[in-house]
A and B are shown apart, each in its own frame.
Chain A
Amino acid sequence: MNRKQLLNGNEAIAWGAAAAGVNYFSHYPGSPVNFVEPSLKKIAQEYHLDIKFNDAINEHIASLGAAGASYCGARSMVVMKHVGLNIAADPLNYIGYTGVKGGMVIVVGTDPGANSSTGEEDVHWYVPQFNFPLFEPTSISEIFEFTQKAFELSEEFQIPVLLFIPGRICHNSDMISLPELSKNDLAKVFEFEQDKDRYINVGKRAVTNHRKLVEKINHIGSKNKYYQNYFNNQAKTGIVTRGITFGHAYESILQLNLSEKLDLLHAEMIYPLGKEKILEFSKGKEELIFIEDQDGFLEYLVKMNCFNEIEARVEGKSVFPAYGEITFDQVYQFLAHKFQINVDSTTAPIFEVPERLGTFCEGCPHTASYFAIDRVMKPIQGITGGDIGCSSLPPFRADWLLCMNSGIGISLGISQVSNQPLVSTGGDGSFFHAGILAILNAVQNKINIIHIVFDNRTIAMTGHQLSPSTSINYHILLKSIGVDRVIETYAFKSEQLQKTIEEEMDKDGVRVIWVKGNCAMMPDEVMQERRKTLTPKIDSTKCADCRLCYEKLACPAINLNESTGGFYIESDSCMRCGVCFEICPNEAITVYKNEER
């Protein structure tokens, strides 16, 4: 019997996979799809489903794992964020050649507007390269429904199927009627059958398999009826949408009373193009307006595939920008202006409010680490290579912010051409993702580099997934690949880290400083005990207003009392990491046992 439950986008993906009988799940966590895995794990536990999970160390491995399971006939899902598709592109380019057996669904969380990413690259351009069908659901119920359809389509045509879901829809919520799940079929045997024609792709065989893929995708395109029509199909102006702009267009048309004047076509399967449907829609139209985020992929597809077959004037990226999210207001104002409807124009806010840039949490080990790094590097105008993840909050602590392992990667290049003092940084997540390969690269090429690994024992920013640092002896690992020196320090002993960096600056070779300190959201027992028993306080009679704790350490628990001009520690949020106590040059921070106060 069905029951109703409130689901967000991540949960809807998980439920769709479970309802489709997924057997294998792999991922690399990344917003906005970082909660699919815990959601699916919860469902698997509750319903006793036999699903194999692979918390992969990067998207390349995650994709290959899903392919392997699928080759054995298992239904597999792999999930990543949009930038992860860059890492997964190598294997995904060739999985189309081999085809799949069990359905394989690739879920990609996109981020127009870069709300939780370092960029908003449009990954649609990978799709014709991979030649996989692509669905873009626009609501929670569509996510649930299309995830299941994707598995069916994948198995029918033995081809992986893509689902792109933007952050805005991943963070939607709606009540969904859910089926009862029965235990999945444990009796089914998954086996890899050897087939050299299929799996050995080189030379003529590769070209043959490529041809088969192209024929397959063209056939799917000829059957693509995944389009929905709304309003007046006799109207002279047609609006075409994909993804989240559908809702903006639909409601704008209602609010502006344009339902007689417009015909709205919403594309659910974006690739391969359903040319027949597009041509049918465009018949009799004087203009087609494409409203879609980012680069205008659908507009491009239509122009390329229907060249000279559409009489209507086509617009899209000539009127909507290729950057940022296209908002409801942009679509509304565009249609109002087009049909000369008088509406209130958007007014600027009366009071400006500065953006809240990211910051470390109270008790974050990175706060202390960067304090130490700054104390060494800033006086000598040194360079600090930055990576992504929690260590990149706030964004101005390092000298660049690009992508995973850009800390060490870019630093290697700088080291080889410049003599400037330099340290590279990155989290333990980045280290295991691909950073270790960069270190190996430094060793092989004899590059002088100091790399600092912030090991907070978790992949924190994306939801606190377990870090391999909790189970791997990184010291042995690093020494075995030829790292010259591996030095372990404790993040919350800031002076120790500072001294270590200073000492290592004078040496040569590949040096890794492994800085340990638990994430503030997962404090160790020592800090938990301190939090219960101790309270720090700033003694205003001793405080010399040096602002070291407030501006240089920049702990969010230390605040300025604007009426008195003095500093105080917010006791509720202070994690008792002890760093301010250590660094205060005036001994103005006193720590009380709670019963003493």
Chain B
Amino acid sequence: MKNAKNYISVVICGTGGQGIFTLTKIIHALSESKGLKCLSSSFKGGAQKHGSVHSEIKIFTENTTTYKNFSVQLLPGELDVILAAEPHECLRFQHLFHENTKMIVNTHEDKLFVTRFKPEESIHPVPLIKQLKQKVVLEDFNLLAQQKHQSQKMANYEIMHAALENKFLPFTKKEFEQIFMNTLISKI
């Protein structure tokens, strides 16, 4: 039995170009604005696009002066929240789920390239996710972003919105809006 944790563990996952690292930075900024310590480690492969990308994040909810000494990885069965910009990528982190893991999952797929040569390896992730026991918010966030903002690139914004709407993270929508705007401005 693990010790009670003093952090909320989060995975943000998707494929290259979906704004995973932007969301990671935003969570850092949100944590900082609320006086919370935050540690993250990001992963990307060599490809410029369509590769698996994820960040593992720990948002320390208690004043942990030694937070820098903590592992940058998560243990199986301890993931609190997953924000998945792509459904295949969500399933890559099954080993981290516990029964109360909260999930926001984009149903818009970035098809696995290998399946065009090996169709037998193709899976349909959305029905599989529906079989999971966890609380899952499933939506086509790309379509939602296109409808609301005329740009699929805003899908990550809508994913974060959904997480805050469902109170999966210790931040408010207003706090997020402010940080998001600042992040966008700094990119221009």
Contact = CB atoms under 8 A, between A and B. Distances in A.
A353 B92 contact: yes
Given A354-B123, A357-B113, 8 more contacts: A4-B32, A172-B41, A172-B72, A173-B41, A251-B69, A255-B5, A356-B112, A362-B49
Interface string A200-239: 0000000000000000000000000000001000000000
Interface string A308-329: 0000000000000000000111
Contacts of A357: 113-114
A332 B73 CA distance: 11
B3 A390 contact: no
B135 interface: no
B68 A139 contact: yes
Given A332-B75, A572-B152, A353 B91 contact: yes
A173 B2 contact: no
A344 B25 contact: no
Interface string A332-363: 10000000001110111111111111110110
Interface stretch (A44-52, A82-90, A505-513, A554-562): A554-562
Contacts of B91: 349, 351, 353
B160 interface: no
A460 B48 contact: yes
A594 interface: no
Q: What are the 8 tightest A-B residue pairs by CB atom distance, in nearest-first order?
A: A328-B73, A247-B71, A358-B47, A349-B94, A328-B71, A171-B42, A359-B113, A251-B71
Given A255-B3, A394-B113, A351 B46 contact: no
Contacts of B77: 344
Interface residues of B, number: 55
Given A327-B73, A328-B75, A115 B45 contact: yes
B121 A247 contact: no
B73 A358 contact: no
A174 B39 contact: yes
Contact of A255 (B2, B113, B117): B2
Contacts of A380: none
Contacts of B44: 116, 171
Contact of B40 (A172, A244, A329): A172
Interface string A137-155: 0011110000000000000
B76 interface: yes
A175 B1 contact: no
Interface in A233-284: 244, 246-248, 250-252, 254-257
A556 B75 contact: no
* B43, B125, B152, most chain A CB atoms within 10 A: B43
B45 A358 contact: yes
A264 B123 CA distance: 45
A343 B51 CA distance: 33
21 contacts: A8-B42, A168-B43, A168-B73, A172-B42, A173-B25, A173-B40, A174-B39, A250-B69, A250-B70, A255-B5, A255-B75, A329-B76, A344-B76, A351-B123, A351-B128, A354-B121, A356-B112, A356-B114, A521-B48, A556-B49, A559-B111
B29 interface: yes
A358 B46 contact: yes
B95 A346 contact: yes
Contacts of A175: 28, 32, 37-38
Interface in B138-162: 152
Contacts of A346: 76, 95
Interface in A530-559: 550-551, 554, 556, 559
A291 to B, nearest CB: 12
Given A6-B28, A328-B73, A551 B152 contact: no
Interface in A174-199: 174-175
Interface in B15-48: 15, 24-25, 28-29, 32, 37-48
B102 interface: no
Interface string B1-18: 111010000000001000
B50 A461 contact: no
B48 A361 contact: yes
Nearest to A550: B116
A560 B116 contact: yes
B48 to A, nearest CB: 5
A169 interface: yes
B29 A347 contact: no
B100 interface: no
B113 A356 contact: yes
A369 interface: no
B32 A356 contact: no
A518 interface: no
Contacts of B73: 168, 247-248, 327-329
Nearest to A392: B46
B10 to A, nearest CB: 13
A115 B43 contact: yes
Contacts of B68: 139-142, 174
B32 A116 contact: no
Given A461-B46, A560-B116, A247 B72 contact: yes
B51 A257 contact: no
Contacts of B25: 6, 173
* B28, B68, B72, B112, most chain A CB atoms within 10 A: B72
A377 interface: no
Interface in B63-104: 66, 68-77, 88, 91-92, 94-95
Nearest to A257: B3
Nearest to B86: A356
Contacts of A173: 24-25, 28, 39-42
A393 interface: yes
Given A332-B75, A349-B91, A554 B51 contact: no
B114 A354 contact: yes
Contacts of A327: 73
A560 B43 CA distance: 29
A31 interface: yes
Contact of A244 (B49, B72, B121, B123): B72
Interface string A110-148: 000001100000000000000000000001111000000
